[in-house]
Structure 1
Amino acid sequence: MKTKKNLFPKLQSKIDALNFDTISPTRKKELQPLINYVAEHHDKTAQINFICTHNSRRSQFGQVWAQVAADYYDVKAACFSSGTEVTACNERTIASLIRFGFEIEKEGIENPLYKLKYGFEPTLISVFSKRFDHPKNPKTNFAAVMTCAHADENCPYIPGAELRIPIRYMDPKLFDDSLEEEARYDERSLQIATEMFYVFSNI
């Protein structure tokens, strides 16, 4: 894999260990529409909005890892996340990203704004829970990536989306407050990281 010298060492080691062979042929077919979309739009900055119901776990992982992957491979992309309801970016999601090597600052309490740093240059991703029609999200010319079955099935129309792409993930929330909690959040984070790096490596 390409070396991105400005990444934090722990995060770089996680990226170096990603294995695209863990992605099944069937799953690669599901990822292909996103590859095609980015390839067709990256000359003018591809916009991608990752959407799940509460914008607290899977969609946040999607936004973060897709943006890091885009930067890693020097692909012009702006990645966002949102939900059909506003809650908060789950603290377990943030804890997993810290374990992967991100440095994070928190602002606010009820629906905190998290600022994620992943390198020594001014590399910054801001995440918080918001609806898909929030002013921070693109209004037109974007792909809507549906990361959960509930949002995919119950929100059939995303205004302004050029393309709707279902890329569903199992919800780590199922393991909250269990002995498997950390492992399952890290498992989902790793899966999404692997798939997003696979996507952007193919641009």
Structure 2
Amino acid sequence: MNLYPTLQSHIEQAQALPISEERKAVLQVLIDYIQQKVDQNQEINMNFICTHNSRRSQFSQIWGKVAAAFHGIAINSYSGGVEVTAFNERAVASIKRFGFKVNKKGEGNPKYFVFYSDDEDPIVTFSKVYNDAANAPIDFAAVMTCSHADENCPFIPGAEARIPVRYEDPKSFDDTDQETEMYDKRSLQIASELLYVFSKIYRK
């Protein structure tokens, strides 16, 4: 897989970030789920869920797919929320800075086709509820990326596992001097942790 050069550089940066033992314990639940699916030769469906499906869950869907592909593991990476908004333009700008190529189709709640390699199909992202027809209806891991969705959605129909992996929302820095820095920091953290997760998967 030939990643775009700027993206490759950011992946190397993400791999070098330290991850605390406390955070590794959180991620171990996700590692165990994926390892079990690999061991049983079953399809891996991951639905990253946050309230508005606009920032953290979108970052996670994108980085989840890329991290898995980077380590040679096939997954279906989805995202959703409890209400429809749009893939936030600040988050879109961040993934462009990381070296992804992005094509936008439509207005209001547009679809974004996110390319990480000319050799791979794009990741298709847009804001949707977690049970949208674009997502796997059953046999998926609901990865809860924000505290609000995790606390207010006690039951996710169709999920075979519910795994909280919460991130702080960069939204709190919107329209401040730190906006760009904090969106990129959150994206890099998510990249780092998901690259770590897939680096721990053993394939026979």
* Among candidates 171, 174, 179, match of residue 173 of structure 1: 171
Q: Would the aligned equivalents of 2:49 and 2:79 in 1 still touch at CA under 8 Å?
A: yes
Q: Would the aligned equivalents of 1:69 and 1:196 in 2 still touch at CA under 8 Å?
A: yes
Deviation at 1:76, TM superposition (A): 1.9
Paired residue total: 199
Q: Would the aligned equivalents of 2:17 and 2:192 in 1 still touch at CA under 8 Å?
A: no
**What residue number does 1:28 align with?**
24
Q: What whole-Å deviation, never above 9, does each CA across 1:127-172 have from its counterpart, x for those lacking one?
A: 0000011001111111000000100000110001011001100000
Residues 40-55 of structure 1: pairs in structure 2 closer than 5 A: 40-42=36-38, 43-55=41-53
Q: Return 5+ residue gaps in structure 1 as ranges.
A: none
Question: The residue matched to 2:9 in structure 1 has which SS?
Answer: helix
**What residue number does 1:39 align with?**
35
**What residue number does 1:18 align with?**
14
Distance 2:105 2:17 in 1: 38
TM-score, normalised to structure 1's length?
Answer: 0.95
**What residue number does 1:61 align with?**
59
Farther-moved stretch of structure 1 (111-120 vs 42-51): 42-51
Distance 1:7 1:57 in 2: 23
Distance 1:21 1:71 in 2: 20
Could you say if the C-alpha distance between residues 69 and 183 of structure 1 is closer, same or farther in structure 2, counting changes exceeding 3 Å? same
Residues 8-157 of structure 1: pairs in structure 2 closer than 5 A: 8-19=4-15, 22-42=18-38, 43-157=41-155
* Runs of 4+ residues deviating >3 angstroms: none
Distance 1:65 1:192 in 2: 7
CA RMSD of aligned residues (A): 1.0
- Look up the equivalent residue of 2:28 and give its one-letter code: Q
Farther-moved stretch of structure 1 (150-159 vs 12-21): 12-21
* Among candidates 185, 191, 196, match of residue 187 of structure 1: 185
> What fraction of aligned residue pairs are identical, expressed as a percent?
53
Q: Return 5+ residue gaps in structure 2 as ranges.
A: none
TM-score, normalised to structure 2's length?
Answer: 0.95
- Look up the equivalent residue of 2:197 and give its one-letter code: V
